[in-house]
Amino acid sequence: MSTTPISGSNADSKWGRSVLAIVAGFVVVVVLSLGTDVVLHLLKVFPPLGERMSDGLFVWATAYRTIYGIVGSYITALLAPRRPMLHAMVGAVIGMIIGSAGAIATWNKDLGPHWYSVALVVEGIPCAWIGAKIRGDAKP
């Protein structure tokens, strides 16, 4: 009976593709979110930078960030070399940690309603699940 050892370069390649998949999902979310913010500021839908937005505008921002979170998770799952749902969930957990740190750092700065920061953190797992599910593999 012969066994074929796992090639180091093959394992490294899968590890690299896993990291790339997660990073790509983040890049998609950040570029889409910031791009939309810029366009909405230029169109004067959002007030000038430095001025606080109304709660209603934060609802819109939450809505498109939710959609972008799903898209980013879909991209992560699509690019994952294996176990797309796991990759999307890892990306969500990392995003939730970063979002929590941001919420804590800005909590008393009156940059927006507290529900907005909390919503962005809490929606991470559901967005990742939906994005990976759309990708077509719900196996964790």
Domain boundaries, the chain: 17-135
| Predicted local confidence at residue 1, as pLDDT | 45
- Total-model pTM: 0.85
Q: Phi-psi bin for 50: left (phi > 0), alpha (psi -120 to 50), beta?
A: left
Give the C-alpha separation, 38 to 32, whole Å. 10
CB 72 within 8 A of CB 28: yes
Cα gap 111→116, rounded to integer Å: 10
CB 132 within 8 A of CB 85: yes
pLDDT of residue 8: 53
Q: pLDDT tens per residue, the chain (140 residues)? A: 444 444 556 666 888 899 999 999 999 999 999 999 999 999 999 999 888 999 999 999 999 999 999 999 999 999 999 999 999 999 999 999 999 999 999 999 888 899 999 999 999 999 999 999 999 854 44
**pLDDT of 2:** 43
In the chain, the amino acid numbered 35 is G
Give me the half-sphere count of Cα atoms (radius 13 Å) on the Cβ side of residue 22: 18
